[in-house]
Amino acid sequence: MARLLVVDNEPDICALIARYLVRAGHEVICAHDGATALAEVSLHGPPDAAVLDVDMPAVNGFELLEQLRSDHRDLAALFLTVLWNGEVRDRIAGLGAAYVPKPFTPEGLCTAVEDLLSRRGGAARQSETAS
């Protein structure tokens, strides 16, 4: 089980994502904007991974991830987006993140989160071995 930060400015979408991830055995912290997400992380500590919407008012998902990583540089991230163009995919790749296009299925979302967490776990094991 992982602790996941889910940020989507649409409360219904955020609740749906959380429901799928909780059913998959994860603990979920929800936020509907960047400021609330940062406050939740400050209060609860860093999550194991963040699931972020790209297109949000005030602070978009890319900016939020950069802010989160200023204190937690190895934070794994998965973007959920209806914006599938090359520029968005390039920016996601540049951040070392993964993405799932909206609309998504529960299985697609959960599989992407598990893949993200397994890559993160493998990287953590590699850095521990190198020490």
- Burial, 12: exposed, middle or buried (Cβ in 10 Å; 0-12, 13-18, 19+)? exposed
Let me know if residue 121 belongs to a domain. no
- The stretch 72-76 carries a mean pLDDT of 96
Look at residue 88 in the predicted model and tell me its pLDDT.
92
Let me know if residue 101 belongs to a domain. yes
Let me know if residue 131 belongs to a domain. no
Let me know if residue 25 belongs to a domain. yes
Let me know if residue 89 belongs to a domain. yes
Task: Please list, in sequence order, all residues whose beta carbon lies within 8 angstroms of the beta carbon of residue 117, skipping any fewer than 6 positions away.
Answer: 2, 48, 49, 76
Let me know if residue 3 belongs to a domain. no
Let me know if residue 113 belongs to a domain. no
Number of domains, the chain: 1
Percentage of residues in the chain having pLDDT higher than 90:
85
Task: Please list, in sequence order, all residues whose beta carbon lies within 8 angstroms of the beta carbon of residue 39, skipping any fewer than 6 positions away.
Answer: 31
Structural domain for 78, as ranges:
9-105
For the chain, what is the total number of helices (H) and then of strands (E)? 5, 5
Let me know if residue 125 belongs to a domain. no
Q: How do residues 75-128 score in pLDDT, each as one tens digit?
A: 999 999 997 788 999 999 999 999 999 999 999 999 999 999 998 764 443 333
User: Domain holding 42: CATH number?
Assistant: 3.40.50.2300
Q: Can you give the C-alpha Rg of the chain in angstroms?
A: 14
